[in-house]
Amino acid sequence: MATKFEDHSLEDALNRSLRNASHLRAKDAATVAAARALARKIDAWNVIVEWALEDMEELDLRRPAVPQNDNVSLASFLKYMDALGLVPEVEAVKPAARAGKTAKTAAKPKSELDAWRSAKHA
């Protein structure tokens, strides 16, 4: 049965993840607090951007009064999630997917750098 993911605030989604994370201990308290603070900041910023976009339409402005994007907060939030062990691991590529490579891709020779890296880690 698939898990139902409703459209919640980031803070609510974080709290749901934390409730289901049985591996977290008291030593993780500061990281949890930092993740919650950042989630609240991101949620508040999203509201401010919505207001600015509404103002832009109502006042017939060319640009919103605040920047629409924040290139740092979500990346930082994901780092907190990773530190807390709340980011799912990437599934291994299934053999059938690898077999689907084209002959051109499969026959591609290694670059000198790739050959050096392979030799170094062998």
DSSP-assigned letters across all residues of 48-66:
HHHHHHHHHHHTT-SS-SS
Q: How many domains does the chain have?
A: 1
The pTM for the full model equals: 0.64
DSSP 77-88: HHHHHHHTT-SP
Query: Residue 5: inside a domain, yes or no?
Result: no
Query: Residue 32: inside a domain, yes or no?
Result: yes
Query: Residue 121: inside a domain, yes or no?
Result: no
Each of the 122 residues of the chain gets a pLDDT tens digit; together they read: 567 777 789 999 999 999 999 999 999 999 999 999 999 999 999 888 888 888 888 888 887 777 767 789 999 999 999 999 998 877 666 665 555 555 555 555 667 777 777 777 76
What distance in Å separates the CA atoms of residue 4 and residue 45, rounded to the nearest whole number? 26
What would the two tokens of residue 77 be?
């939030």
CA nearest to 31, candidates 14, 45, 12, 46: 14
What distance in Å separates the CA atoms of residue 102 and residue 122, rounded to the nearest whole number? 27
In the numeric block, the tokens 């990773």 are attached to: 82
Question: Which structural domain range is residue 52 located in?
Answer: 10-93
Q: Where are the beta strands (DSSP E) in 1-122?
A: none
Query: Residue 39: inside a domain, yes or no?
Result: yes
Query: Residue 38: inside a domain, yes or no?
Result: yes
Query: Residue 108: inside a domain, yes or no?
Result: no
What distance in Å separates the CA atoms of residue 83 and residue 78, rounded to the nearest whole number? 9
Query: Residue 70: inside a domain, yes or no?
Result: yes
Query: Residue 34: inside a domain, yes or no?
Result: yes
Angle at 114 between CA 111 and CA 116, to 5 degrees: 110
